[in-house]
Structure 1
Amino acid sequence: MSAEKRIGCGSVFLFVLLAVSLLLNFVFWNGLQIRKGTGPELKPPEFPEEFVAGDPDREQKIVLIRLQGMIAREEPGQFSDSMVEDIALQLRQAREDRRVKSILLAINSPGGEVDASDVLYHEIERTRRVKPVVVYMESVAASGGYYAAMGASYLMANDLSLTGSIGVILQSFTVKDLLDKIGVKALTLKSGKMKDLLNPTREMTPEEQAYVQGLINESYDRFVGIVSRERHLDLNQLKTHWADGRILSGSMALQAKLIDQVGYFEDAVDKCKDLGKVKTARVVRYTPPFRFSALIRGLFGAEARTKSAVLAANKLPLISGRLYYLAPTVFGSGGFLP
């Protein structure tokens, strides 16, 4: 090999080595940034702000936070590893910032997991004790999305928003007939009669069905109880008229007293100023710090899949045997989307 070729190969090798070193150092630094604020004694990370609307010169702020897509702990976030933690972190920063006078939470979600929806409700309700939280319902704020909204100070929707769907759904499948047809037999060894609950290779027993229905009823009672308390509605009338899983338009929800007002985004901003007791303010949103893991997910289309989860029922990532506050009937053929 000639001297020129050896020098060229050496230069390429050094360049690759330098790039790998920089990448590893960046990943290490990024990991340290993510760790900041994770312990209870440490301050949460401070996210940069981006101007959205209003008076850019005002010190008083309204923070815009978006809750979008399927509500689930497994859904990746932009600020953290979970979209649920994303909302919690942003709410925490907003309520600890004295310049933030109110928070505008824009919801566009068909709902999601029971536990995740309840955590978001808790975080929003916790925040409203410190400063006003106005929810603006965009295209969809149904089931778990509506459940989470119960934590806010004031609810607003567009006339044509879809909301409500107060109820619980659990989905499973039975493949027993198919297995019998192709000659496959399932062998299940278990320590107790309920251990293989929702086993898709056999039919449910009446006892199992009653037990699962009890779990669903428990989650439903919590949901409808929170709506009754937060909206000051009679529990029995709520169950009879509106809390049967049906979806409502924004105008219908207003008539049912499930929301406070119909309007547009700018009306929600005005309400934030009113509740925050300011005549003018700048509306800002937090921007996520660069995270290597988020970049990798982006390359493989995770964010696109998250957004598509709100578009069609057959793309909603339901996990068999898991309880959901979800409105899948909003989507799919014959639904409300073109």
Structure 2
Amino acid sequence: MPSSDEPTTRVKPPEMIVIERRAGGRLLLRLLLIGLVVSVMANLAQFSSYQEYASSGEGPNERFESGELTADDKIAIVEISGTIMPPFTERILKTIEHVAEDEAVKGVVLAVDSPGGLVADSHQIYHRLQELRAKKPMVVTMGRIAASGGYYVAMGAGPDSEIFVEPTTWTGSIGVIVPRYDLSGLAEKIGVESDSLQTGKFKDTLNPLREMTADERAMWGEIIDDAFLRFKTVIADNRPELDLEEVSELATGQIYTAEQSLAAGLVDRIGYQDDAIDTLKEQLGLSEVRVVRYSYPATLIDLLTASAEARSTPDIWKQLLEAQVPRAMYFCGWPALTRP
């Protein structure tokens, strides 16, 4: 025990150090992080665009499907799936061009699984297939649905090519459609009037906020009739058993089952893709063949766009404006102005 004469040493308690986090500092940090993320995404998008541009001349990616992997001779599967519209049209055309230039490809299986799409795009594909069939034999196989524009492009294989449909395939729907929505009744209820400034009486045709006039209906009738006649003529030219009158009887917009389309002469055989490949091999006289198909890798821009669209809510004003854009379509399933 220390003596009372000895000096007493007192220990000072430790000082508390307080770090104050300022709200302004947190905000600055968040802004910097957001800027970094945006910068990285922008650079990745630019790099993806550069890759797509730089590789535009290389064509699609080829993938082995079946047959003999080491065989020199190839059968190419050209797929037409989904709605026929940009940017898929350009990819299909590029695939057709690639197949036409590949000397190892001896024959083509045109695999259609599409409800159709834009009139102009369908005819572009049909035209390129006509050129391809002049170089290489072709057969057609139809999947779940090959209707309207999907059937139109199948005619590109020509009158000498067999068309296979699966037992559950839907085809037909021969006709033309221009989507239009009449919102004039709704506009009247909520007090909205269409008062466009225009240079001619047809300039705002298909305006959804007013009823279509008789003159407008007659004008669009002529446009649709032109596309409709082309559709029927394409079928008559490429289906030996059908003439234009017989095609006209089938061209009611009706969807046909596999059995119905076979009985009507729209297709040749009920079978699967393997059956079409075997038929083409026999036609070409090939015992060993490498069956290939083609694909295009999804770019970063495609993925970002798809993600943004998935998260977005419907924009009624955007849809209203787009409803005024004329789109002639060989398409199955749209309620709109039709021409029987």
- Residue 21 of structure 1 and its aligned partner are, at CA, apart by 7.7
* 1:266 corresponds to 2:274: yes
* Residues in 2 aligned to 1:30 and 1:58: alpha-carbon distance in whole angstroms: 34
Give deviations 1:78-113, integer Å, cap 9, x for gaps: xxxx10011111111111111111122211111111
Report what 1:64 is aligned to.
77
Report what 1:50 is aligned to.
63
- Residue 149 of structure 1 and its aligned partner are, at CA, apart by 0.6
- Residue 36 of structure 1 and its aligned partner are, at CA, apart by 4.7
1:322 pairs, out of 301, 318, 327, with 327
- Residue 148 of structure 1 and its aligned partner are, at CA, apart by 0.6
Give the counterpart letter for 2:245 in structure 1.
N
- Residue 160 of structure 1 and its aligned partner are, at CA, apart by 2.1
Give the counterpart letter for 1:323 in structure 2.
A
SS of the equivalent of 1:71 reads coil
* Residues in 2 aligned to 1:195 and 1:329: alpha-carbon distance in whole angstroms: 24
SS of the equivalent of 1:193 reads coil
TM alignment of 1:195-234, pairs within 5 A = 195-232=203-240, 233-234=242-243
SS of the equivalent of 1:328 reads coil
Report what 1:112 is aligned to.
117
Q: Is the contact between residue 177 and residue 334 of structure 2 (CA under 8 Å) also seen in structure 1?
A: no
Structure 2: unaligned runs, 5 residues or longer = 1-31, 311-321, 336-340
How many residues are aligned here?
Answer: 287
Give the counterpart letter for 2:75 in structure 1.
I
Q: Is the contact between residue 170 and residue 320 of structure 1 (CA under 8 Å) also seen in structure 2?
A: no
Report what 1:7 is aligned to.
none
* 1:142 corresponds to 2:160: no
Report what 1:84 is aligned to.
89
2:246 pairs, out of 232, 237, 246, with 237
Q: Which moved more, 1:54-63 or 1:282-291?
A: 282-291
Report what 1:250 is aligned to.
258
Relative distance call for 1:320 and 1:97 in structure 2 (3 A) is same
**CA radius of gyration, larger in:** 2
Relative distance call for 1:52 and 1:298 in structure 2 (3 A) is farther
Identity of aligned residues (%): 35
- Residue 271 of structure 1 and its aligned partner are, at CA, apart by 2.0
Q: Which moved more, 1:51-60 or 1:142-151?
A: 51-60
Give the counterpart letter for 2:244 in structure 1.
L
Report what 2:52 is aligned to.
34
2:133 pairs, out of 124, 128, 132, with 128
* Residues in 2 aligned to 1:120 and 1:193: alpha-carbon distance in whole angstroms: 34
* Residues in 1 aligned to 2:205 and 2:125: alpha-carbon distance in whole angstroms: 29
Q: Is the contact between residue 52 and residue 285 of structure 1 (CA under 8 Å) also seen in structure 2?
A: yes
Give deviations 1:24-48, integer Å, cap 9, x for gaps: 3x6556444433576xxxxx31433
Q: Is the contact between residue 169 and residue 257 of structure 2 (CA under 8 Å) also seen in structure 1?
A: yes
Q: Is the contact between residue 117 and residue 147 of structure 1 (CA under 8 Å) also seen in structure 2?
A: yes
* 1:151 corresponds to 2:156: yes
Q: Is the contact between residue 262 and residue 268 of structure 2 (CA under 8 Å) also seen in structure 1?
A: yes
Relative distance call for 1:239 and 1:64 in structure 2 (3 A) is same
SS of the equivalent of 2:180 reads coil
SS of the equivalent of 1:150 reads helix
- Residue 223 of structure 1 and its aligned partner are, at CA, apart by 0.3
* Residues in 1 aligned to 2:201 and 2:40: alpha-carbon distance in whole angstroms: 55
* Residues in 1 aligned to 2:298 and 2:215: alpha-carbon distance in whole angstroms: 51
Report what 1:191 is aligned to.
199
Q: Normalized against structure 2, the TM-score is what?
A: 0.76
* Residues in 2 aligned to 1:64 and 1:300: alpha-carbon distance in whole angstroms: 32
Give deviations 1:185-241, integer Å, cap 9, x for gaps: 22122111111111222222211111111111111000001100111321112212x
* Residues in 2 aligned to 1:151 and 1:28: alpha-carbon distance in whole angstroms: 37
Give deviations 1:223-278, integer Å, cap 9, x for gaps: 001100111321112212x1121111122212221112221121011122133331
* Residues in 1 aligned to 2:113 and 2:59: alpha-carbon distance in whole angstroms: 25
* Residues in 2 aligned to 1:22 and 1:329: alpha-carbon distance in whole angstroms: 37
Give the counterpart letter for 2:127 in structure 1.
H
Structure 1: unaligned runs, 5 residues or longer = 1-12, 39-43, 74-81, 303-316, 331-338
Q: Is the contact between residue 122 and residue 153 of structure 2 (CA under 8 Å) also seen in structure 1?
A: yes
* Residues in 1 aligned to 2:115 and 2:94: alpha-carbon distance in whole angstroms: 22
* Residues in 1 aligned to 2:41 and 2:180: alpha-carbon distance in whole angstroms: 48
* Residues in 2 aligned to 1:55 and 1:99: alpha-carbon distance in whole angstroms: 14
- Residue 181 of structure 1 and its aligned partner are, at CA, apart by 1.7
TM alignment of 1:327-338, pairs within 5 A = 327-328=332-333
